[in-house]
Copies of this chain bind each other. A is one copy, B any other.
Amino acid sequence: MAQVTRPRELSSPERLQAFTDAVVAIALTLLILPLMESVGDLADEEGTTAEWFDRERFALLGFALSFLLIAVFWVHHHRLFRVVRRVDSGLLWLTVGWMFTIVWMPVATALSTQMHPDWAQPLVYIGTLLATSVMLLTARLHLRRHPDLHTMDRVESAAGIRSGAIVAGLFFLALIVALIAPGLGNLPLILMVASEPLQRLSTRRLERAATA
């Protein structure tokens, strides 16, 4: 009977990883859809390539930024899943939630680069990034509560949570700034440059604590 009622191991980490990879790869590639469409539109007006670059400057920037951000998120997700041994229901649905925010990214990017600017625009883009990082952070917290699911020791787990909290915290801060000063657009994301130094600071502290 044990097999009927086994509640924890719902999926192999490998297959969930492969599925996640496919979803991220598609979202990454669908970022070009608005660019493809604008090529078609300008072609109808007998436009040239130089004109297209001039007109789509902002869309190109948005495409490059979102590509980079999704790649960074994928790397973070990937690093976490390297130490996952088993997938329980909680981790499964947190991963589905994380994928939802990734699939939403091309829409957030299109809104961010194509719409007439308003207060909602930066909130949607930065809010999506916040949601992605919170999903991953929650997955890390879930793993800490269930040591049987992974191969991290306490120190590694704590380092990961700290690192995820720094990223989520900075996105939250950027969201607050965007809420106060919507005229800045997605500029508050510049706060993310603080992520790397803060991470390094946190690691150093953690190491000092461990050797103490």
Contact = CB atoms under 8 A, between A and B. Distances in A.
Contact of A211 (B1, B33, B82, B203): B1
Main secondary structure of the interface of A (DSSP, over half): helix
Interface string A122-155: 0010000000000000000000000000000101
Given A10-B75, A21-B22, A26-B26, A4 B48 contact: no
Contact of A23 (B29, B115, B120, B155): B29
Nearest to A18: B21
A52 B115 contact: yes
- Report the copy number of this chain in the oligomer: 4
Contact of A11 (B33, B42, B64, B78): B78
- Chain A interface category by residue count: 35 or more
Nearest to A53: B120
A161 interface: no
A32 interface: yes
A25 B82 CA distance: 21
B100 A67 contact: yes
A10 B52 contact: no
Contact of A103 (B28, B49, B51, B118): B28
A90 interface: no
A103 B1 contact: no
B50 A10 contact: no
Given A18-B18, A22-B21, A48 B155 contact: no
